[in-house]
Amino acid sequence: MLTYFDLTFFSVMKIVEGKQHTEMRKIATIASYIILVLSAVVPFFLMFIVCRRFEVMKIKHAKASFNTVILKIDK
């Protein structure tokens, strides 16, 4: 979770900075946009998986395979 917040924070700070004089800064800005998009998409994708498998999770044996994902999302 700390990595998620750190990557999101630093990517936003890089985008806000706006200095793109060198090629490396341009690449860092593009990487920041990619990280920012992924940090918004990945949680929705995980929730989609959990909601999609909700009927299967009523079965105790099937729930065991998704237990770690559910615990991480709950936290």
Domain boundaries, the chain: 2-74
Quote the pLDDT of residue 60: 64
Q: Which whole number is the average pLDDT over 21-45? A: 88
Quote the pLDDT of residue 13: 87
Quote the pLDDT of residue 56: 64
Q: Which whole number is the average pLDDT over 27-35? A: 89
Residue 17 reports pLDDT greater than 80: yes
Asked whether 8 and 39 are in contact (CB, 8 A), the reply is: yes
Looking at residue 29, its amino acid is: T
How large a percentage of the chain has pLDDT more than 70? 69
- Cα gap 36→4, rounded to integer Å: 10
